[in-house]
Chain A
Amino acid sequence: MLKRTAAMGGACAGYGLSNRLLPVLASPSSEPHPLAARPPHYAPKAKRVIMFFLTGGMSHVDSFDPKPELTKRDGQPYNKSSRDKQVFVGSPWAHKPRGQSGMEITDLFPHVAGVADDLCLIRSMHGDHSDHFEATLHMHTGSNGVAWPGMGAWVSYGIGSENNNLPSHVVFAERKPYAGAQVWDSNFLPAYHQGVRLKPGNEIIPHLTPQKDNPWSLQQAELAMLKRVNQRHFESRRDGELAARMLSFETAANLQRLAPQHFDLKDESDRTLEMYGVKRGDMRSFGWQTLAARRMAENGVRFIELVDTGSSGNWDRHSRIEGNAGLAKKVDQPIAALIKDLKERGMLEDTLVICASEFGRTGYGASHGRNHHAKAFTCWLAGGGVKAGHVHGATDDFGLTIAKDPVHVHDFHATILHLLGLDHEKLTFHHEGRNFRLTNIFGNVVDGVLA
């Protein structure tokens, strides 16, 4: 039985000291790290998560749930009695059975289609809200109104991290998704579990680079002196919070020295770079982000999310659905490369890869585009404990309603936690008079996707 609430709650720096006074002979470094790895509720299948989030509502009927019926009816009015110009829109992308499993995927994602036998498609996803902001929040936090902690924060809170010199939860986001930083916020969970936004570009983590006139050689001496000053202050007080802050400077110094190694791909082979479609020296593209994500996963980071594109210019195509081609081109090869790469390294079996969007899209629309659709859409999982080459659930001939095995966003969350060895009903945090969960009071683990 976990006792996270007692150990991690409160204002006490995430340090498990209900009694802040340290034993008389304690040293500032003798306390467990607030991100120390913690055992899950039961044996996990996956030890870490890499999640792709395709922003804007990626069309399931143009990608992972192709519908020939739409092509047949292309241009016909969707609702004859209605005066608006909503017509069925056939997908511009052909589809065919892929791999040994024979699951149908369109040519929009040719590379991902190439690893179909590693995927577990859930074609029967559904959510509660069909606006971007609310649905994005829902997919991340389980709430579509008032923000709650993000899934990554819950995972970090649940099982801690294997490497205390890196954050446990990071989010690659060149631009923010809908609902902004709320999707990775720790909210009422202890702040250690907050997602650290990694912003591709000059300053990937805020303040990660020393000032030019204070390089590591000098800074090291400065931090040593700071430690002496703090140590002296600590001696007469022996307060766990003071010790925690002293330790956090050491963690920060390690982060500063080590994190750039995870971003710099110098020691990756040409073959690997080619697989991800990354040019040497690139520190920005989605391929670079994906490869850096793999490196962080290798180094013990628990939950890594990659937000594709951000809240504009994304998959939200109300007109000209063909425009998806450019968006897919950006992410298709890196996503497939990650799966192949993890597999080659023997990491796919204990890494859960997630690909999600806030909702899908209708099989009809105006101006050759598609509308938001939260009643049926596709997300997929791969690796850590899920069936490979498997399709769970199905929609009707138009991709509008669920024909089989519905999976609500809460069920999706419950399943992800389950794969990590966490019981979604037991992973709770007491806040303002009640026990909160990622899945609220809902959610059932989807047995049908478990290997």
Chain B
Amino acid sequence: MSYQIDKRIGAGAATWFAAALVGAGAFTAQAEESTHWAFQPVQPTEAPADETGWAVNEIDRFVVARLHEKGLKPNPPADRRVLIRRVCFDLTGLPPTPAQVNAFLSDKSPDAFEKVVDELLASRHYGERWGRHWLDLARYADTSGDGADAPVPEAHHYRDYVIDCFNADMPYDRFIREQIAGDILAKQDPDTRARERIIATSYVGLTRRFNNGEYRDMHLVIENTLSTIGKGMLGMSIGCARCHDHKYDPISMQDYYGLYGYFESTQYPHAGTESGRMRKNFTELPGGGLAYAVFDKKDKKHIRDTRIHTGGNPGSHGAPAPRGFLDVITEQNAEIPEGESGRLQLAEWLASPHNQLTTRVMANRIWQYHFGRGLVKTSSSFGLQGEEPSHPQLLDWLADRFVKDGWSFKKMHKRILLSQTWRQSSDVSETAAAKDPDNKLLSHYPRRRLEAEPIRDSVLFVSGRLKEGSPGAHPFPKPNSKNEYPYTQHNPFAKDYDHEHRTVYLPSRRLGKHPYMETFNGPDPNECTARRNVSTVPLQSLFWMNSDFLKNNARSLADRLARHSDNPAKRIELGYELAYARKPSKEETKALADYVAAHAKRIPGDVKPEDRETRAWTSLCRILLSGNEFIYVD
């Protein structure tokens, strides 16, 4: 038996054949598509009444009703210190300062917590935290991803664009339209955000490249675009239909190649690679500079519908596939103006309030980023292979509310954060552990480990070393006078750059993660990442024990404590306030003060006494920063 697959098809084909066969016989798409929950229009219902009086808003009423069904009760609210630490990490990815904690503790007004939420939503750090969630979905990277993995110095414009959009609370429908078709919008209305709108289409421009030649394997490139849109915006694995009609979900090859046509009519930029080194088709920005953006192909004869690639083979053309949307959602395709790619019409469809996938998927993602898991756990997979929502009515209520609130993220955050559900303590009762071990019904707030970015950012922040703002472009080498890079598959670009800005600003290479991101489960910059893995491995512990990063930051924190006071107890108190947002108990203070004293004595006698003291305090600070309490949020 031979497994020869035409190399032009590549692994993608094999993947989708596999998807087909694994479930063959288990399911007939036609039968279930009409009833599958995710394809039904959003149907908001009124939240059930809560007779216990626990609920403060509709979210709570939906949640407590499900808890009661199972004989469970919600937890009481978390302690105020726990709450402010939780909300700071949730919205900004940084711990609260002692001043923020004290202000909240001493504010006895009924809207004290709401004030904190408003303040955090207005902070620049909000966009750095929530923009990163979107960058995961957009498989953001600073390199091209083919064999040479050439740097794309222009990519950072898109990163900053995303952060700015979140900070400005750009409505999600506009955010989608700009990223899919910003270039067309800019042409229609050159006076409104033209620069930003062009940069926005780097969402498409930043698609992963394959192979080692200029515009080689474009069928794989476009598959990556469609897969990113499909998973990220629609919660659907549409790539399966590249080689055959999807066997699980009602997505046909007609659907796939209908979507393909929009992007085959689109000019992608070329970042340079082994054969075809010259960088080309970047977009000049109003106001100067270049963007890794896309535009409609200039030669109108390349703007057209495509044909189905029979068996996924780009050399084998079958029936024509007019540019259009997914049939299961919308049967009627929009008319495309003559000579245009149609991306604007696609964007309108994606961002339509009637697109039940777009609205539900984003409502669910927002929920996931607040609770660690979505109401639909498989947040990029809403098809028949995904999990059912734990609270279907709540999901529909949120999706509907999201649109009615003008697609505002910040309004959604407030609804969720001000709920009693989100404010519960994270204690787990024995009843809850027995009846709902996965906490699907939310009888408590789930304790969470911080992801890579807030961990590193918090170390820098607490030690006083964090540099505010964006560092701008990465210090990539410049292309030569012919606008070429020297990188090949044999000598790919492989440099990492470090700085003390927030981690969202670290460069991200497609063929090799930044060592820190690799150690701490950073996202895969080649694929849409729905949810971070947060596994604990010994290499992480070695990082806490032995890295220069920890040593330098522990030393800076020790200096910060030393500047605060000569009194060991006061230093330890500040350390706890900075690192854990609480005061240490008497026993804790004593244990750590004793440790510092004893540790200073353990340090060899040839070290000067004052250095011995600094080193002992540095050791204490490393303990504070390495503690579970530092990287877990209750």
Chain A: residues with CB nearer than 8 A to chain B? 11, 13-14, 18-21, 126, 128-134, 138, 143-147, 167, 176, 178-182, 187, 190-192, 194, 196, 205-211, 213-214, 217-219, 221-223, 225-226, 228-230, 232-234, 237, 239, 241-242, 244-246, 248-249, 251-253, 255-256, 311-312, 316, 406, 408, 410-411, 432-436, 440-444
Contacts and interface: CB of A to CB of B under 8 A. Distances in A.
Contact of B543 (A138, A206, A210): A206
A181 B147 contact: no
A226 B623 contact: yes
A433 B629 CA distance: 34
B615 interface: yes
A244 B526 contact: no
Given A206-B542, A245-B536, A133 B3 contact: no
Nearest to B434: A19
B539 A196 contact: yes
B546 A21 contact: no
B29 interface: no
Given A11-B535, A134-B211, A248-B536, 10 more contacts: A11-B531, A20-B428, A146-B15, A180-B149, A181-B513, A181-B518, A182-B511, A190-B533, A225-B595, A228-B591
21 contacts: A20-B447, A21-B428, A128-B5, A133-B147, A146-B527, A147-B526, A176-B512, A187-B524, A191-B521, A221-B598, A226-B626, A226-B627, A241-B536, A246-B628, A248-B536, A248-B538, A249-B545, A311-B490, A432-B380, A433-B383, A433-B386
B14 A143 contact: yes
Interface string B182-194: 0000000000000
A353 B329 CA distance: 53
B489 A178 contact: yes
Contacts of B535: 11, 13-14, 190-192
**Tier of interface size on chain B:** 35 or more
Contacts of A441: 14, 17-18, 21-22
A180 B526 contact: no
A132 B489 contact: yes
Given A218-B603, A241-B536, A434-B18, A408 B3 contact: yes
A230 B628 contact: yes
A253 B541 CA distance: 8
B546 A210 contact: yes
B31 interface: no
A245 B628 contact: yes
Contact of B14 (A133, A191, A242, A442): A442
Nearest to A251: B538
A129 B531 CA distance: 32
Interface in B1-33: 1-5, 7, 10-12, 14-15, 17-19, 21-23
A180 B380 contact: no
Interface in B223-258: 237, 248
User: Which of B248, B381, B542: most chain A CB closer than 10 A?
Assistant: B542
A358 to B, nearest CB: 11
A124 B428 CA distance: 59
B102 interface: no
A444 B534 CA distance: 35
Contacts of A411: 3
Nearest to B519: A206
Contacts of B622: 222
Contacts of A207: 539, 542-543, 545-547
B381 A208 contact: no
A129 B380 contact: no
B210 A145 contact: yes
Contacts of B220: 145
B437 interface: yes
Contact of B599 (A218, A241, A255): A218
Contacts of B543: 206-207
A206 B627 CA distance: 21
B381 A132 contact: no
B22 A19 contact: no
A146 B489 contact: no
A167 to B, nearest CB: 8
Contacts of A248: 536-538, 540-541
User: Which of A11, A190, A207, A248: most chain B CB closer than 10 A?
Assistant: A207
A176 B494 contact: yes
A221 to B, nearest CB: 6
A13 B632 CA distance: 13
B81 to A, nearest CB: 14
